[in-house]
Structure 1
């Protein structure tokens, strides 16, 4: 067994703030790594996502510093830079600094500053939660080995998924998350449905996937049902680049192969046909049919929150007894991934 460690003051503040922002209706993720070409540049303490209306979404980074010398003005510069680099909508600095000058400096640079009095109230009110586990408890539970592949670190697996919401909040990111969801379902089934860590990760990855779909579909609400189906189909089949860009890449790759291959061993037309056949056989229409429905698009944000809530629930609900909306999506994903849904739900 692993020994549960005590969380430090900074982690306690982040967890309390997560609960506070959740209570305001935000979708919240803690400790989101900003990855640039394989290098972790920094971690975002809290990443907030809000569905303001059917057409608008808001993404916010929150920097938390619970220290005697918080260097608040320096953190304002950092938050402003991060907001611009990641094209976020807002940035917030939460600090133990109570000076009015610090708040004024933040306002002049379009950064919200939440002072020490606010932080103390939040920590006092939200430090204890009887229904959720903390991020640190989740990481403790993820120290168990992976049954499907001994080289996999679950904590790294989770970091990669979180990073998608910063670097690939689009159909390409959704497709990457789908491949990870497949692996997690298979891992959970391989454990004879006993791996709580794998189940928590499965719910979290589905939650991230739904946020990705919600953000990607925000500009599709005005389209008719057939146009939405086509957009979803191309997104799930070809990624964020779409069919035209995928065809262009395919033509370029095929030309390079033709130019560098022995014509006796290589048939351009046959290989091109095979690639196109494989793309056409990819069951993207299964997802497109479901997500293009107006009533489904309206509930994506709420359903993402439901999966997130269950991922962190102290008493986790297993797939076969979860509510109808969760079970419906789990069944859809099983069908799409060619996994017998009866084995999971």
Structure 2
């Protein structure tokens, strides 16, 4: 009797995910702001995935976005990926590209160098994988966080948390700047409200705290990028420009022009059009002025004068993924300051939010008293060496 042919093992993609995490850890350690698994969307459709999206601020005026394509498998098709990532970079208008591949052909490295593509080949990947600093991470992976999100969504019989998280990540790909920051602020408002409503210190409270940190980190990075265009302008002009960007988005002049066009159409074609157009104009501007954009703009302009805002973005992203999720009061000073301003902007009480996630502190018991608890003067002054002899 002939034995039945065994089926090929099912591909899980786990190896690729692990490589993405290791490469992400490398770039985080190198000082980049990094987002993994960014879905490029257009018109509601998902077009492709960006494995790693990086943002770098190297000087007051120097800012750079980089997309990294990662393929760690038996048939990486590195040449095809190189052409693909160059075309994608041009489409979404980022400043640089990179490839991490299991392919080791020298000719491809030379081709990448010729076209200014960062090239991480198999030998480089193996060195990264052998680094204990990169593999022994204190962070959750994207898959770990995804599992926590799935549990929260399952308890709510929805996929709202997953979809909102993905939408915020997607915004860095094609509208990084004020529009991305506004999308992240909306996400932060949604997650912070859910955190406030959740049972304190529950799994949902932890997950919503993490996602609020993440959204605030995205907003901080996006504002930092946007501030580069006006870095040399007078402070008041920068403040006015950023305030308008928070209220109107990327194109304040374009938004105002659309409003004027709508008013003209109402005035010409609607019954009692002139009066109705004036009412809409006044109420629209009243609504805009009620948005507390000035306070958030002030702290952004102040922190963006140096690298404080960029560092706050990295610290907030780190807090979102740490295995031991920190509470609000444990965040670094600048991260806490920016998140506090963001919470004020989205009308979430800081104290109430901070009470949603307060992990229990470890209890350290005092050592039991013994006859040897108090060392002699000689022992206290001269600690023993490894062989037990006094110095």
CA distance in 1, matches of 2:256, 2:236: 22
CA distance in 2, matches of 1:103, 1:31: 25
CA distance in 2, matches of 1:249, 1:156: 30
> Which segments of 5 or more consecutive residues in structure 2 lack a partner in the other structure?
1-11, 355-391
CA distance in 2, matches of 1:12, 1:158: 21
TM-score scaled by length of structure 2 = 0.81
> Which segments of 5 or more consecutive residues in structure 1 lack a partner in the other structure?
1-5
CA distance in 1, matches of 2:153, 2:21: 27
CA distance in 2, matches of 1:323, 1:258: 53
TM-score scaled by length of structure 1 = 0.92
1:167 and 2:170 equivalent? Answer: no
Q: 1:297 to 1:171 in 2, by over 3 A?
A: farther
Residue equivalent to 1:15? 21
Deviations, residues 267-307 of structure 1 (Å, cap 9, x unaligned) = 22122111111112221111122222256653111110100
Residue equivalent to 2:215? 205
Residue equivalent to 1:123? 129
Residue equivalent to 2:235? 225
When the two structures are aligned, how many residues end up with a matched partner?
339
CA distance in 1, matches of 2:29, 2:273: 66
Q: 1:106 to 1:52 in 2, by over 3 A?
A: same
CA distance in 2, matches of 1:24, 1:287: 29
Residues 15 and 134, structure 1, Cα contact 8 Å, conserved in 2: yes
1:265 Cα deviation from its structure 2 partner: 11
Instruction: Provide the aligned C-alpha RMSD in A.
Output: 2.2
Match of 1:79 among 79, 85, 88: 85
Bigger radius of gyration, 1 or 2? Answer: 2
Match of 2:351 among 332, 342, 345: 342
Residue equivalent to 2:54? 48
Residue equivalent to 1:235? 245
Deviations, residues 88-124 of structure 1 (Å, cap 9, x unaligned) = 1111111111111111222233323221111111122
Residues 93 and 114, structure 1, Cα contact 8 Å, conserved in 2: yes
Match of 2:150 among 139, 143, 159: 143
Superposition map of 1:1-345 within 5 A? 8-125=14-131, 128-145=135-152, 151-194=158-201, 195-242=205-252, 244-263=253-272, 267-293=276-302, 297-345=306-354
Q: 1:261 to 1:341 in 2, by over 3 A?
A: same
